[in-house]
Structure 1
């Protein structure tokens, strides 16, 4: 097993994608610290891992506060003697368009996703650096953080911020032998279940049927288990040279996202005045403008929602 003897923390792992990550890490030999705010879900996750011969312990606490981050690290070290892998997956949604989003809706999502990633990674790498044996940090991003999604100001800001932190941490932790990467999953979860475009795929997964090939291949949309293999790979020695990357995964597809690069560069002697920009914009810059939001192909007839 590729992670035999290793110890991993997975936040938000009582169900859904987080549970799939925890189960796969345990299958690969890692002992797992399960985390969730739902005590029953966390206990069931631990029981499932143990029933398959793995080792696990639960920490029931909301991600965000520094105290939770330290409790997770303490649980890993006290129960299993070390910490090698951290997967920051915990998250919530509070969707609303900008002009209707409340302070609380914004702050709640930022606190769990962005602050929670920061505090948990900080606590984990403090221990990893002191232990001197390297480590693996895997932060869960989202297509929304890469391209934006209508009605998700808070979520988009948090997920984009996570990617920015990942790139920074990859630089800061390289000398310590700690890799840091972001995974962008696309899968049937509670968060995608309400999106009509994915309804046919979500229904198939819920019934235990194969997700249709259109979703798996063309859209890279599958099940939580389809994402877990990449997380386990990034946690392993096989990914020792992979750091600072944003990797999308879902269904039958893996994608490596580019880092932001300039689309066009132009110079104007003496600087760019208003008049100079107006004159040059149509021919020099307009063709390089970037799209926003996800652009999906039309659904094939069998998968179109009934109006």
Structure 2
């Protein structure tokens, strides 16, 4: 097994995508620290891994604070002797449009996703550096963080921030041999279950049937298990040369997201005054204005729902 002898923490791993990640890491030989805010959910996840022959322990605590981050790392080391892998998956949603979003809506999502990723990675990376472990940091992003999405100011900010931190950590941790990457999953989750466009795929997944090829191939939309293989790969020694990347995966598709680069560059002697921009900006930008949000093709008729 590729991760035999390794120890991993997966935040938000009591159910859904996080549980799939933890189960795959365990299948590949890693001992896993499960994390959830619900004790029964966490215990069930641990029992499932152990019944399949794996090793797991639970930490029941909300991600975000430094105290939780310390408890996660301490539990990994005290229970299994070390820490090699951290997957920051924990998250919550508080979706609403900008003018209706409260301070609490914003702060809650930022606190769990962005601050929780920061505190957990800081604690794990500190341990890895101090113990000369060439560890693996895997942070979960989202297409929303790459493209934006209506009603998700807080979530978009957090997920975009995570990718920005990953790029920085790849630089800072390189000398220690620690890699840092972001995974952009596209899969059936509690969030996509409420979107009519994905109804046929979510229904198939819930029934244990294969998803229609349109979703798996054309949209790169699949199951939790379709994402977990990439998590395990990035956690392995085989991926020691992969760092600072944002990698999308779902269904039958894998993608490497580009880092932001200028698409147009223009120069003007004397600089760009208001008058100069008024005269020349439209010609400079031309057809290069960047799109926002995700664009999906029309659903085939047989997959449409009333």
Q: TM-score normalised by the shorter chain: which range applies?
A: over 0.9
Could you tell me which runs of 5 or more consecutive residues in structure 2 were left unpaired when the two chains were aligned.
none
Aligned to 1:36: 36
Aligned to 1:199: 199
Aligned to 1:154: 154
- Residues 76-225 of structure 1 correspond to what in structure 2 (within 5 A)? 76-225=76-225
Aligned to 1:245: 245
Bigger mean CA offset, 251-260 vs 268-277: 268-277
* Deviation at residue 283 of structure 1 after TM alignment: 1.9
Aligned to 2:3: 3
2:306 is aligned with 1:301? no
Q: Distance in 2 between matches of 1:263 and 1:212?
A: 36
Which secondary structure does the structure 2 equivalent of 1:12 belong to?
coil
Instruction: Give the TM-score, by structure 2 length.
Output: 0.99
How many residues matched? 306
Q: Distance in 2 between matches of 1:62 and 1:8?
A: 18
Q: Distance in 2 between matches of 1:287 and 1:86?
A: 42
Q: Distance in 2 between matches of 1:302 and 1:91?
A: 34
Which contiguous aligned blocks of 4+ residues in structure 1 show a shift greater than 4 angstroms?
none
Q: Distance in 2 between matches of 1:185 and 1:5?
A: 27
Which secondary structure does the structure 2 equivalent of 1:193 belong to?
helix
Question: What is the root-mean-square deviation in Å for CA atoms of aligned residues?
Answer: 0.6
2:261 is aligned with 1:261? yes
Which secondary structure does the structure 1 equivalent of 2:5 belong to?
coil
Could you tell me which runs of 5 or more consecutive residues in structure 1 were left unpaired when the two chains were aligned.
none
Which secondary structure does the structure 2 equivalent of 1:287 belong to?
coil
Instruction: Give the TM-score, by structure 1 length.
Output: 0.99
Listed one character per residue, the Cα deviations across residues 12-67 of structure 1 (whole Å, up to 9, x for unaligned) are: 00000000000000000000000000111110110000001000000000000110
* Deviation at residue 134 of structure 1 after TM alignment: 1.1
